[in-house]
Chain A
Amino acid sequence: SQKIEQNSEALNIQEGKTATLTCNYTNYSPAYLQWYRQDPGRGPVFLLLIRENEKEKRKERLKVTFDTTLKQSLFHITASQPADSATYLCALEKSGGFKTIFGAGTRLFVKA
């Protein structure tokens, strides 16, 4: 069955460093891969989308890579700040599937 794996352990980094989060998937061929941020007690917030034919996408301090051969996406936050502390979710969708599947998320803590 289809499966998405994200680092189950929390990631602790120092302010100013680059945070790198991993999303691996199996038994799935997504047309789109998205990253969301979720703060405690709130719904997820969309950050970035990357298509299957794209290798990399950037938005301000965020960068996403997508390797369909490795079935992996990496999510980078450069010059991280304590305000970046949150849970980050990876989500996959097939073209015309009308269904998004989410990973369990990785909790990021950025220490000042």
Chain B
Amino acid sequence: KAGVTQTPRYLIKTRGQQVTLSCSPISGHRSVSWYQQTPGQGLQFLFEYFSETQRNKGNFPGRFSGRQFSNSRSEMNVSTLELGDSALYLCASSRGGGSGDTQYFGPGTRLTVL
């Protein structure tokens, strides 16, 4: 069974630009969660999607948004990039999400904002 895939793996952008990251979950998984990981803050929860609906979101500004498609693939978008958005963005998929469901993480997208 193929694991979670994320594209692109590396990205360099400049301040003010916007970026879209993609996540393909494990086949059969309907929940996708996104996290931002930085050395100072660790793994921070961004949002979770299930069947194209956002069920929860973390404490991030509205510049961070996401969506999920009918095939469970998910994208996240960051508009008006700031230097502080430089981070590793991880997505994780699970069967249904919640109730201690095991999350399977992708390799992440390393975003650098110059």
Contacts and interface: CB of A to CB of B under 8 A. Distances in A.
Specify whether A and B are partners. yes
Interface string B56-94: 101000000000000000000000000000000010100
Contact of B43 (A42, A45, A98, A102): A102
Chain A: interface secondary structure?
loop
A41 B90 CA distance: 11
B105 A32 contact: no
Interface residues of B, number: 27
Interface of B: 4, 31, 33, 35, 41-45, 48, 50, 55-56, 58, 90, 92, 97-100, 102-108
Interface of A: 31-32, 34, 41-46, 49, 51, 89, 93, 95-105
Nearest to A51: B100
Contacts of A104: 41-43
A97 B35 CA distance: 16
